[in-house]
């Protein structure tokens, strides 16, 4: 049926030349048929980018967007919006940049629509576009849609899509992240972190893990919003997927944060639930926690002994000792480093670091703490 699609597109382009009501209804019928054929084609091909790019190459975007106006029946506009969503879907490869530039002004209009179906589809379209790297994130930011997107974090029917869209934006640069924070995004997270759906809790903590991977001012914004105790709660009580995101959020803060910000974590009793995750089977989580604990100990200064005691009292030391036998090289090296540098006085002489000729213990003064957190 490709010739049929071409014919429908040609009829759509006649809108600029004809205004007869009968012809308009004919266009609506034909375009609805086009939407059906497009969706069917996407289903048959597994919603892959090949179909999307083929339809774009036929010149569908401009005549399709022309139907976004107040005179269009709502049911038809829903179909148009659904096609736009599918044109934004898939990121390997993403839609052509010129197509994104064409579609974004339409999404900026549709995000104000009162119809829930249209609004939900619009926000999902934005979430797909923001999932294509920093260049696409910047295009979305430059469209001016972010100040209208962020308030939807508290919209009952749209918050899931909105959380994904803004979450994708904060995986970008610190400057791109700041655009979201400047729209008062963090004020919505008390309700998101206490939502009945664990999936929303997980997405919310994932969002915050990318903020704590930012600069120190952004870390402080999370602290000032009172969200750290809530992250620690999910670290201790959440489903494993949420705990995993919380572990990243905490570890990122120990990398990006100032000494006083890391001290705040310790005061908020992060150590016991953090250490509890050392016993999980996921090696990535174990390594993230070890990194975080190592960073906390290194930044503790004169309070390092106090932190070490907290780790020991909650059973963390025993877990770290066991991890020296872990099959993962990075994990057992990191576990040994923590024992070597912070607990060696309590161990047998075989675990003590080698002493120099002067009799003093020698430690590697270099630190492998990254200068910024990880963005996902």
Ranges of the chain with pLDDT below 50: 1-3, 18-20, 37, 40-41, 43-46, 348-369
Phi then psi for residue 290, to 5 deg, are -60, -45
Residues 167 and 208: beta-carbon distance below 8 Å:
no
Q: What would the DSSP string read from start to end of 91-107?
A: -SSPPPHHHHHHHHHHH
* pLDDT the model gives residue 60: 83
Provide the CA 248 distance to its chain's centre, in angstroms. 12
| Closest to 173 (Cα-Cα) out of 206, 199, 134 | 134
Look up the pTM and report it: 0.84
Residue 304's pLDDT is 95
Contact 278, 319 (CB under 8 A): yes
> b or e along 72-81 (b: 16 or more beta carbons within 10 Å of the residue's beta carbon)?
beeebbbbbb
What is the residue whose two structure tokens read 């036998």? 325
| Cα–Cα dist 48/55, whole Å | 12
218 contacts: CB under 8 Å, gap ≥ 6:
174, 177, 178, 181, 211, 212, 256
* Structure confidence at residue 59 (pLDDT): 86
**Cβ atoms 74, 64 nearer than 8 A:** no
Residue pLDDT, tens place only, 84-136: 998 998 888 999 999 999 999 999 999 999 999 999 999 999 999 999 999 99
pLDDT at 317: 97
* pLDDT value at residue 11: 53
- What pLDDT is stored for residue 281 in this prediction? 95
d(CA 331, CA 202): 25
């Amino acid at each position: 049926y490709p010739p049929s699609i071409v014919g429908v597109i040609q009829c759509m382009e006649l809108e600029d030349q004809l205004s007869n009501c009968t012809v308009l209804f004919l266009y609506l019928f034909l375009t609805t048929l086009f939407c059906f054929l497009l969706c069917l084609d996407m289903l048959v091909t597994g919603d892959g980018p090949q179909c999307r790019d083929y339809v774009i190459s036929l010149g569908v975007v401009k005549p399709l967007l022309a139907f976004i106006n107040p005179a269009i029946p709502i049911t038809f506009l829903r179909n148009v919006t659904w096609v736009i969503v599918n044109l934004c879907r898939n990121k390997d490869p993403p839609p052509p940049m010129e197509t994104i530039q064409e579609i974004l002004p339409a999404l900026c209009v549709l995000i104000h629509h009162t119809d829930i179906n249209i609004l939900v589809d619009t926000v999902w379209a934005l979430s797909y576009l923001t999932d294509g790297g920093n260049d696409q994130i910047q295009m979305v930011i430059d469209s001016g849609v972010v100040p209208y997107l962020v308030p939807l974090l508290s919209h009952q029917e749209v918050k899931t899509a909105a959380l994904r869209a803004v979450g994708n934006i904060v995986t970008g640069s610190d400057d791109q992240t700041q655009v979201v924070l400047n729209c008062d995004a963090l004020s919505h997270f008390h309700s998101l972190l206490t939502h009945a759906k664990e999936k929303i809790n997980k997405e919310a903590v994932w969002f915050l893990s990318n903020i704590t991977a930012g600069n120190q001012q952004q870390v402080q914004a999370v602290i000032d919003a009172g969200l750290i105790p809530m992250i620690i709660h999910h670290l201790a009580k959440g489903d494993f997927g949420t705990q995993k995101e919380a572990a990243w959020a905490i570890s990122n803060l120990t990398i990006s944060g100032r000494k006083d910000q890391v001290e705040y974590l310790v005061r908020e009793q992060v150590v016991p639930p953090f250490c509890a995750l050392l016993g999980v089977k996921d090696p990535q989580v174990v390594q993230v926690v070890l990194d975080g604990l190592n960073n906390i100990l290194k930044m503790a200064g004169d309070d390092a002994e106090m932190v070490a005691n907290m780790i020991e009292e909650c059973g963390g030391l025993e877990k770290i000792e066991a991890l020296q036998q872990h099959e993962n090289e990075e994990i057992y090296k990191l576990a040994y480093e923590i024992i070597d540098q912070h607990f060696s006085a309590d161990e047998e002489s075989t675990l003590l670091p080698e002493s120099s000729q002067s009799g003093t213990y020698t430690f590697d003064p270099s630190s492998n703490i990254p200068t910024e957190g990880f963005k996902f």
